[in-house]
Amino acid sequence: MHIVIIFINIGDYHAARLQAAYQSCQKLNWDFTAIQVTDDTLQHSWGDCVSSLEVTVQTLLSTQSENNTQKDAFSSVACQALKKYLAKIKPDIIFIPGWSFDIAKTALKWCHEKQVIPILMSESNEHDAPRVWWKEKLKSWIVKRYKSALVGGQPQKRYLMKLGMPEEAIFLGYDVVGNQAFHPDNIKRLDQPHQKPFFLTVNRFITKKNLPFIISAYATYHQQIDNEPWDLILCGDGELCPQIEQQIAQLNLQDCIYLPGFLQQQEMLPYFAHAGCFIHGSTQEQWGLVVNEAMAASLPVLVSNRCGCYEDLVLEGVSGFGFDPYNSQQLTELMVKISSGKIDLKIMGQAALKHIQKFSPDRFAEGFMGAVKYALANTQ
């Protein structure tokens, strides 16, 4: 048996999953190959996450290639390279990322032409983007051409069921991270990056991450707290950075809201180690893997109820709280509650850490193998 898994670009998140899936295949003496469309990190500056893997990784569009003048990961060049490589290695099963990318459409069509089993990987949920009925009909037709699926959690599963995939064909565990890298036993010894207690966010500075909303809620919080309010640290960078800097200056909060910029994972760990609480306020989010990371670092979390991970990860009042990302007063009140000293944040953080252990790379491997076995059993 030869199984192939395709990603657009392999980053930290994918590397941990690949290693777990590879080890599961090794136990059965199955071959396992990972394909990344490009080693250009695109939206996420992950750096090299491939060289340390035991997994065989094929890059279709290498930024190091002198002959590669087309760096578009969704181009016809990538699609042709994919078909050529698949024809060379002759896989039995292919895990395909989503349904909308040209590379995904190409892989699915190739599977049907060559009688290879296609398995869908998806983190989409019904509410992570506006939906148009005719596009949903087309999507339903595409989804039904997959033999099984590996998804993030319950909202993602419900969405695939609505699109026509049988419930028993859908397996959970897609959205996990390498929890151990964030475990408090491994990071608490790191130097404190900030001397005062602080709320932490980690985001690209783009519209859907809702950072002006978080800043506005924090400004009200800062006014309401008479005695030593916590600071707010916004890690990341992006197109909205000038707007965010201007908002902070207009609110005169430069001495309590800090922007460290974009940080690689190792540079982020001290912030996860010493934050008091993590906030994720997106208005649209397929999942939100940074919440996994925060919980793996034993942090209480405040998470927008529009995030795809909210239902599966946030245990209300136990591991954290959810909030409406359009209701700034609600977030302000949660900030007050978290920093009041009336909640045992250590116990809440321990609950977050315990719960996120259910969302480990082993869970990905379990869902991965479940999807494979179901597809094999239901293929004529």
- If asked whether residues 86 and 205 sit together in one domain, one would say no
- If asked whether residues 17 and 32 sit together in one domain, one would say yes
- If asked whether residues 228 and 342 sit together in one domain, one would say yes
Cα 260 to Cα 262: distance, rounded to the nearest angstrom: 7
- If asked whether residues 68 and 92 sit together in one domain, one would say yes
- If asked whether residues 370 and 351 sit together in one domain, one would say no
- If asked whether residues 238 and 346 sit together in one domain, one would say yes
- If asked whether residues 325 and 310 sit together in one domain, one would say yes
Nearest to 177 by CA among 129, 124, 123, 127: 123
Element of type H or E holding 302: strand 301-304
Q: What is the pTM (predicted TM-score) of this model?
A: 0.93
Top pLDDT among 186 and 66 is at 186
- If asked whether residues 285 and 249 sit together in one domain, one would say yes
Domain that holds residue 231: 180-356
- If asked whether residues 156 and 262 sit together in one domain, one would say no
Q: Find which of 34-48, 73-87, 144-158 is predicted with most confidence, using mean pLDDT.
A: 144-158
- Cβ atoms of 231 and 308 closer than 8 Å: no
- If asked whether residues 53 and 188 sit together in one domain, one would say no
In the structure encoding, which two tokens stand for residue 85, read together?
Answer: 């490589």
Cα 82 to Cα 79: distance, rounded to the nearest angstrom: 5
CATH code assigned at 33? 3.40.50.2000
- If asked whether residues 76 and 105 sit together in one domain, one would say yes
Report which DSSP code applies to 100.
Answer: S
Residue range 24-48, pLDDT digits in tens: 999 999 999 999 998 876 555 555 6
Top pLDDT among 175 and 130 is at 175
- If asked whether residues 364 and 352 sit together in one domain, one would say no
> Cβ contacts of residue 122 below 8 Å, gap of 6+?
98, 99, 149, 150, 151, 152, 156, 159, 160, 174
Helices (H), 251-286: 265-274
Nearest to 307 by CA among 282, 290, 330: 282
Residue range 240-299, pLDDT digits in tens: 999 999 999 999 999 999 999 999 889 999 999 999 999 999 999 999 999 999 999 999
Tally of structural domains, the chain: 2
